[in-house]
Structure formats: C-alpha cells, structure tokens
Amino acid sequence: MFGVSYTVDGWARIKDVTSGFRAYERRVFGEIASQSNLDGFEFQVEALYLVKRLGIKVIEVPITFINRKRGKSKLSP
C-alpha cells in the first residue's frame, strides 16, 4: 500500500512499514527476536509494535531507490 500512513497503537506515523532499511542496536534486536512470534514480511510490522512496547524511539528516514543498471530483481516474474 504505497503512500498510506499507518498508526500503530496511536503512536508514531510510519509511512512504509514493510520496506526500506532497518537498523537496530544488538540489544534491541535481541529483545525483538526473543518476543517475536512471526516470520517473513509480517515480522517487520510486529517489530514496530514491539519496539514501541519496549519504549524504544523509532524514526523513519526516507530513502530513494534507483532503477537497476545490472542484474535482475528476485521479486520480478
């Protein structure tokens, strides 16, 4: 769902919950992994919920994708 903002439990507005680059401190990732019940793409959404519940600040930094010059996407048909 491109261009849609999500509100997770009434907190920070996140514009893209399933793509982009994510960085976690090792301690934070350990907490998320130990409490997560999901895998695959669902994990990304659950991780946002868990970091909020843990009281960890979340920021969204926009990134720009450019068209490939070489190679092939793993997601292309």
Question: One digit per residue, pLDDT tens: the chain, 77 residues?
Answer: 334 444 555 555 677 777 667 888 899 889 998 998 887 778 888 888 888 888 888 777 777 878 888 888 776 65
Q: State the pLDDT at residue 8.
A: 52
> Given this model, what pLDDT does residue 68 score?
81
Q: How far is CA 48 from CA 6, 10, 23, 68, in A?
A: 11, 12, 12, 29
Question: What pLDDT, on a 0 to 100 scale, did the predictor assign at position 4?
Answer: 45
* Helix, strand or coil, per DSSP, at residue 29: helix
pTM of the shown model: 0.60
